[in-house]
Amino acid sequence: MNTFWQDINYKIKSGSKLYLLIVINVVVYLLINLPGQIEKLFAHTENVIHYTYKYLALPAYLPDLIHRPWTIVSHMFMHADVFHILYNMLWFYWFGQIFEEFLGKKRTVGLYFIGGLSGAAFFITAYNLIPLFNQPAILHEANAIGASAAIMAIIIAAATIVPDYTMIVFLIGPVKLKWVALFFVVTDFLSITGPNAGGEIAHIGGAIVGFVYVKQLQNGKDWIGSINNLFKKRSKMRVVPGSQQKESKGKPQQDEIDRILDKISETGYDNLTTQEKDTLFRASNK
């Protein structure tokens, strides 16, 4: 057990945000459900679970949401039961490693939150505008919990950057990521009128963000990198204009753009040189 936690601690210290997010999700689940189970066993009440859901789950009903705006974030770290969190964390672990391998470790947290927020927006919008859900008996009681939308963003992003990457699926064998991702999206869409309609809608919101984010990144536009740069200390050094800068002012050649995109697929955006990043930026503005 000590070796397991030492390994997790080492990976977190190495800069991997994947393991940090998994640990946070597991800790939150235990903090809520261990006391909840003890209360239910000995007091025959469920106050812990009831009030946790009331104040941390994301409500679809707008007046409730206005009074509990923090639930837009808090719901991303809650899970209904053991199988819910186990299923989510396993897929997060498998696809998160691929995501960090090809896109670096600095984007995991950013895309996790953007995917979760997108899922929340889809959930709230659907329940307030679509007639099937916009009924008082349904709308007033609808709540969303879970990291599924955030994890879907990671899954689809990984499948978009390396669609032909092969993973081993239990009882099936080797399957390319693009087919696994397509299976998730189609299954979610076909289930949006089922008992977990809110969750399926949120998944689609996360999936769209994951796909669009990678496509924008391949075009030289990094939403998460731009946000991260706002918090970086700016260097006081200035670059003296030289021949290299003069050469970079022209329109980038398509062959050079394709080479850089291939490099992103192989080693991640973080491994691009400053000149290569500048080339992608100029290409996106042409």
At 168, give phi and psi (nearest 5°): -95, 120
214 lies in the same domain as 254? no
| pLDDT tens-digit readout, 186-220 | 999 999 999 999 999 999 999 999 999 999 998 88
186 lies in the same domain as 274? no
60 lies in the same domain as 156? yes
Instruction: Please say whether the beta carbons of 39 and 33 come within 8 A.
Output: no
39 lies in the same domain as 128? yes
Residue entry with tokens 């705006």? 69
63 lies in the same domain as 197? yes
What pLDDT sits at residue 52?
94
149 lies in the same domain as 270? no
CATH of the domain at 50: 1.20.1540.10
The reported pTM is: 0.77
Length of the chain: 286
Contacts of the segment 55-59: beta carbons below 8 A, 24+ positions apart:
56/145, 57/143, 57/144, 57/145, 58/120, 58/123, 58/124, 58/143, 58/144, 58/145, 59/142, 59/143
Residue that is last in its domain, among 218, 251, 271: 218
Could you tell me the CA-to-CA distances from 61 to 52, 57, 68, 75, 202 in Å, in that order?
17, 12, 11, 15, 15
Q: Does residue 226 surpass a pLDDT of 60?
A: yes
Calculate mean pLDDT across residues 215-232: 74
Q: Does residue 104 surpass a pLDDT of 50?
A: yes
| pLDDT tens-digit readout, 172-190 | 888 899 999 999 999 999 9
- Residue 145, classed as helix, strand or coil, is coil
Range of the domain at 275: 243-286
- Asked whether residue 249 is domain-assigned, the answer is yes
At 163, give phi and psi (nearest 5°): -60, -30
Number of structural domains (the chain) is 2
